[in-house]
Structure 1
């Protein structure tokens, strides 16, 4: 806890500096001009500005992402100390940790507020921003991990007509081009159209990973009257690219990252095939003003995913002097190589949300209420898959094996129906004090069955997740708050003979988060200091699990993540600073196996610092510098192997050139400026320890023309 307090002192000093900057009279006024941009909706569910909300959330605009060369969700790990990698491989879908917990790609992602599956490559081409809500997500989601919620905000037609063209090149051979066009039509400009088109030839510095991607998205709106707005949009995208196979421990030894080629892709067999993601997204939203200050909204969304998942998959070692390592490579650098193919995977999501928002007077106090309901259906359909031993690989990438594509393994189909009722209330208590209330009731039904008809499971469950907060304005631009909330996860024991409770639903496991914070927000300064405590129950197999009826799958102890976060977004004439820090104490507690208690989760750094500064050098020319530090972490759950900390610097230039009525934005950047060699992350996946290196120094450049 002393370590946490040391960061608290640093964060308090940061907040004091932000306060001084906010009140300083010598700072000139910041003036920003440009074409109108779309407003970013709040994932919190409340209409108050972020600085006035009793929670921690991050909103990242498309322009900020463009300046940093971020084109996929995993790239936001550059920006915020509480967000880190969780098995992010080139060519595959993005996976994140927030406050040390894995984001569940099945339940913790949203698109314009509606649930989607993140088990695909999600395009940012037609997104105006990304929102990250940190911590307990029970108020926003029926079932989800306690990491938080990530929301993709779709680009909509703008108030003013405009066109943007962009061309980007990245070292290695990647070339991307895109078009973003917005226009209004009609006698009163009541019809709007937004078209986004992009295509890319993917050729990163990572060898054996060439691919292609393209996106087409169309968004329309119809302003029927001042009270009624109808919006519709559809998006098609496709990505085809071989994915990256991770490295691993060599017996009990962590390989030296300086001796490993970060451009080597172990997925380099002659029979290696690309992972192919075909995605369709669409939505229809109607907003209607009601009597008084009440308004209603209905939004229907669909997602249709088609995936061919394929990999020359490295897993374990059976050639080490007769010993078998299931969770790492052999000491000599060899490993068991499998031909994995799961083709024609279907994941379909349909969701409908209806809500109404407005004020009421109760007991002499103003209540800003939102009441609503969400119904969603998810269906996954798979074929048999190949998961066949193909021979022995080697960490130097020199081994060549024969393909083994026979479909010898069963897969699992899943169906889920969820009906949710929710309520949010903001109560003005007077004297600068506000109470915030939220509750969600979820009734879910889940089924699963293997592709051969075996191992059926079928269960229903009802859960309620409350949230409450109290905030007080201690000054005009300062807010102090405290909050408490629950999240819930639901799981069924696999219907396998080894379990005495096979096929049975576990009691809903509720995570709990307590958070206290201090926030400030002005046009020039936004800052926060937050302390949080999250407890999440854990599942574990109890028993030998080597013969029938030999073990039980049940709750055993919990993960407790306590931490302190500090952040500052400072703006001054000609520049600014966006910085954050987190000190995290993540431990396992309460297990009946005492040897597990006190262990740190793998791939979770205890200390993280991230900062990006920008400063104008000449009229139109801005320099940018980013620094990221992630502390040491462990590669295995038993904490036997530590992975060293690393620091990386990124740099860039941005030049705005006015050519007649056009704006030309030239960008150039270099990631990993010093060509640092280190293990970027050490994910523990499928009971195996993997290692992913930092990408080498990479140059990028782009030109954006706004017409």
Structure 2
């Protein structure tokens, strides 16, 4: 490979690849010169680099697999070297199926359910537990309340990686569910640009632009700018959305061994006619409701606006040929402003009406500010005649969550009529002209967490590898939320990570894994002391293999996940406050099977199946709103005889779910269903591509979640047409 002597290599990716002596694509694919550089190449001295780089960037590859992941341990490991279940949704999948929000992406991920409880608030589950751990570019991001406000746009992401099970090594505190890592796009060494326009059902319009490349003649400074905008009405009555996104990032080779990156993301979500809560699932007599798909419980004056700013600074320093040091500082600022109506209880069984007394109106404001920092060193160590990988690091975060709920003043006059049957409601209900806060309807709490961690990939013998690590965490919360004290602390909590891998052949491995995580509690014991944190533990054994001449990764896993020391009511103290004791919590067991990659030339697939059992401490089935059988599958095919054409399908299937009713005897049930999406794209020429997506082609009517005692219906059949130009 010939390069101008003045050109700076992508040191981190290239040096790691040289150390490992492994590669799939030559480093020249990352270093093809810009026209400016090529024009100078004849006048400059050339050097030859005899190495290959193992690239983890998925955009432009058209592939449904990645060769490396560092989400589980921060070590750069192949799927077979990672002793834990990992799934990735690549840029190709995002583009093929127009997965424009993170909710869309996670609905395509093995073992993950997306609980759309309201139109603008979403929870996620994996292995029977709520997902509470998230990362951006591998850096831990605390997520208060385990939910996402609004739709997070995916235009800025290269891929989304999900590690299932307890992930305390890199996550610190949380639930033993999974960690979701959003990996951002970065500047490129070649100039590139794209513009994409989409039109779809319910008057949806989307425009997206992405430009990247070198900013100086030597290519030592590079940049990227991503912009996206969307406007849409909805299949739901009165609901409309606007979303804007800007993402800018600069990186500079300040020396031959130092890379500095600076970036900022702005996103604005404005929703009108949004629901707080959802539709009642049964009436006062316990009869199931069966509303039209378009039915909404939102008045015409409701809204939910969210503005998010996220800035980050990274400095990466190469320490010789075998080690690197990386520091990251991130700041997040999120503002939410909402005006809402909520329905308590159930509609009258005879008239279908909902009384004024069953309605709550609120104006809710929230300000979340977070600071996050991470510093780690990573490299190779020679010992006992073998080479091992090691990472040592520390991280710190501070999250301040301020919120206030206000309610109508005493002078507010309700309609006196309540609401009619929701199918017939036009959204009209008196809008308060003034709002007032009451004692205990606000909150201001700060969470601080810091930790030190280390992990190693140990080359034990020719066919034996171990991945081991540990984290030591300190956690502290102060403040109140809605009149409830949040004061709690946990010091020097140890969370281990252990995995063992045996290579049966050069293409297949057996593995076993044990991981932990902890979750602080605010409940007190008989003596008034806070309970120790909840312990989350995961055990997993399985088989991983490279199939189809190394083009695809397959896995089969058996897992068990549990929580211990969960607060259980134990009595009342002399001062009248309740006290608790730690007891057994939920246990989940199951099987997962995955396949991702190129099965034959032109055929990409990502398929996953999950079987799950969830029991409480008494051995009874619990969290029955989570499917016990779950299939996630995406596939696309580009025929060799007509390589301008690509066709594909996405399938999301789950078995029946149910939940016990809060206000009546019996259970509410959602039968098993499958959602089938189809896509087709055609390359008109080298720069222009047209595509068509049809979602829910069978027009399946289904509820989006049964996590709460309310729900709304998912989207019926829809169509999206897209035209993309790229350079």
> Normalising TM by the smaller chain, what interval?
0.7 to 0.9
Among residues 631, 640, 645, which one is paired with 2:655 in the alignment?
Answer: 631
* Aligned match of 2:469: 438
* Aligned match of 1:248: 280
Where 1:484 maps in the other structure, the secondary structure is: strand
Structure 2 CA distance for partners of 1:207 and 1:288, relative to 1, 3 Å: same
1:51-89 residue CA offsets vs partner (Å, 9 max, x unmatched): 331111112122311211211111124323301122353
Structure 2 CA distance for partners of 1:654 and 1:387, relative to 1, 3 Å: farther
Where 1:430 maps in the other structure, the secondary structure is: coil
Give, in whole Å, the separation in 1 of the partners of 2:565 and 2:674: 32
Give, in whole Å, the separation in 2 of the partners of 1:450 and 1:530: 40
* Alignment partner of 1:348 is 2:369: yes
* Alignment partner of 1:414 is 2:450: no
Structure 2 CA distance for partners of 1:339 and 1:544, relative to 1, 3 Å: farther
The answer (yes or no) to whether the contact 1:137–1:148 under 8 Å persists in 2 is yes
The answer (yes or no) to whether the contact 1:30–1:573 under 8 Å persists in 2 is no
Among residues 681, 687, 704, which one is paired with 1:680 in the alignment?
Answer: 704
Structure 2 CA distance for partners of 1:266 and 1:70, relative to 1, 3 Å: same
* Alignment partner of 1:505 is 2:505: no
* Alignment partner of 1:231 is 2:261: yes
1:90-138 residue CA offsets vs partner (Å, 9 max, x unmatched): 3x1442111221112xx44445423153643333221111111111111
Deviation of 1:657 (Å): 2.5
Structure 2 CA distance for partners of 1:549 and 1:478, relative to 1, 3 Å: same
1:580-630 residue CA offsets vs partner (Å, 9 max, x unmatched): 11110111124xxxxxx4032131111112222322353311221222210
* Alignment partner of 1:598 is 2:628: no
Structure 2 CA distance for partners of 1:456 and 1:560, relative to 1, 3 Å: closer
**Correspondence 1:171-250 to 2 at 5 A:** 171-242=201-272, 243-244=274-275, 245-250=277-282
* Alignment partner of 1:403 is 2:431: yes
The answer (yes or no) to whether the contact 1:512–1:535 under 8 Å persists in 2 is yes
Give, in whole Å, the separation in 1 of the partners of 2:287 and 2:137: 39
* Aligned match of 1:653: 680
**Correspondence 1:224-373 to 2 at 5 A:** 224-242=254-272, 243-244=274-275, 245-251=277-283, 253=286, 255=288, 259-267=290-298, 269-272=299-302, 274-317=303-346, 332=352, 334=354, 336-343=358-365, 345-373=366-394
Q: TM-score, normalised by structure 2?
A: 0.82
Larger CA deviation: 646-655 vs 383-392: 383-392
Deviation of 1:293 (Å): 0.4
Structure 2 CA distance for partners of 1:246 and 1:151, relative to 1, 3 Å: same
Structure 1 spans left out of the alignment, 5+ residues: 1-28, 322-329, 591-596
Among residues 520, 524, 532, which one is paired with 2:545 in the alignment?
Answer: 520
The answer (yes or no) to whether the contact 2:225–2:249 under 8 Å persists in 1 is yes
* Aligned match of 1:114: 140
* Aligned match of 1:465: 495
Structure 2 CA distance for partners of 1:419 and 1:544, relative to 1, 3 Å: closer
Larger CA deviation: 605-614 vs 119-128: 119-128
Larger CA deviation: 463-472 vs 39-48: 39-48
Give, in whole Å, the separation in 1 of the partners of 2:156 and 2:190: 17
1:346-395 residue CA offsets vs partner (Å, 9 max, x unmatched): 10110111100112234555331100100111111223433899674443
The answer (yes or no) to whether the contact 2:404–2:437 under 8 Å persists in 1 is no
Where 2:436 maps in the other structure, the secondary structure is: coil
Q: TM-score, normalised by structure 1?
A: 0.84
* Aligned match of 2:711: 691
Among residues 90, 93, 98, which one is paired with 1:64 in the alignment?
Answer: 93
Deviation of 1:644 (Å): 1.4
Deviation of 1:429 (Å): 0.5
* Alignment partner of 1:487 is 2:512: no
Structure 2 CA distance for partners of 1:664 and 1:505, relative to 1, 3 Å: farther
Deviation of 1:695 (Å): 1.1
- CA RMSD of superposed structures (Å): 3.0
Give, in whole Å, the separation in 1 of the partners of 2:136 and 2:597: 29
Among residues 635, 646, 670, which one is paired with 1:622 in the alignment?
Answer: 646
Where 2:104 maps in the other structure, the secondary structure is: helix
* Aligned match of 1:13: none
The answer (yes or no) to whether the contact 1:538–1:559 under 8 Å persists in 2 is no
Structure 2 CA distance for partners of 1:375 and 1:471, relative to 1, 3 Å: same
Give, in whole Å, the separation in 1 of the partners of 2:293 and 2:638: 34
* Aligned match of 1:566: 593
* Aligned match of 1:167: 197
The answer (yes or no) to whether the contact 2:489–2:520 under 8 Å persists in 1 is no
Give, in whole Å, the separation in 2 of the partners of 1:582 and 1:480: 19
Where 2:149 maps in the other structure, the secondary structure is: coil
What is the aligned length?
641
Give, in whole Å, the separation in 2 of the partners of 1:263 and 1:559: 36
Deviation of 1:506 (Å): 2.0
Give, in whole Å, the separation in 2 of the partners of 1:61 and 1:71: 13
